[in-house]
Amino acid sequence: MVSLSIEGLFESAVKIFLFEDNAVNITFSKDGVHIRFPTTRRLAEYLEVPHYYILPYFAMMEEQELVTRAERIGILTTNKGTCKIVEVMQTLHPEESSGILGKTIFDEIIRITKQQE
């Protein structure tokens, strides 16, 4: 089980993408690359904790400008949050990430996020 922390939520989000959904929702825009985060309820269910345990961490993530809420879309990573989630994907699950995104796209997202740091 992953600890309840911002890092733990990012790791859990990646595990949900790669091992449960087998999909990553990515938006490319002139402002950067943004990844749709799992819902707070989905993360709470995955971590087997009450939903209200997750909410303060999302508030902290918003304060740290790692995620933003987009009406009718959900929770998206900011450029800073995308860098963090891509780092988790690259460090902990590179093969699985390349398997879902394709090596070329994953490598390009890594390149883009390194430029944003």
For range 67-94, the mean pLDDT: 94
Q: Which residues contact 42 (CB under 8 A, 6 or more apart)?
A: 16
Confidence of residue 31 (pLDDT cuts 50, 70, 90): confident
Q: Which residue has the tokens 């944003």?
A: 116
- In the CATH hierarchy, which fold is given to the domain comprising 6-116? Arc Repressor Mutant, subunit A (1.10.10)
CA distances to 47, 48, 60, 74, 76 from 68, rounded to whole Å, are: 21, 24, 11, 8, 5
- Burial zone of 4 (CB within 10 Å; 0-12 exposed, 13-18 middle, 19+ buried): middle
Residue 114's pLDDT is: 86
Residue 9 confidence (pLDDT) above 60: yes
DSSP bridge partners of 69: 75
Q: What region, left, alpha or beta, does residue 72 occupy, with left being phi > 0 and alpha being psi -120 to 50 degrees?
A: left
Round the CA-based radius of gyration of the chain to a whole number and report it: 13
In this prediction, residues 5-27 reach a mean pLDDT of 95
Q: What's the confidence (pLDDT) of residue 88?
A: 97
The pLDDT confidence band at residue 6, using thresholds 50, 70 and 90, is very high
Question: Does residue 1 register a pLDDT over 60?
Answer: no
60 CB-near residues (< 8 Å, 6+ apart): 6
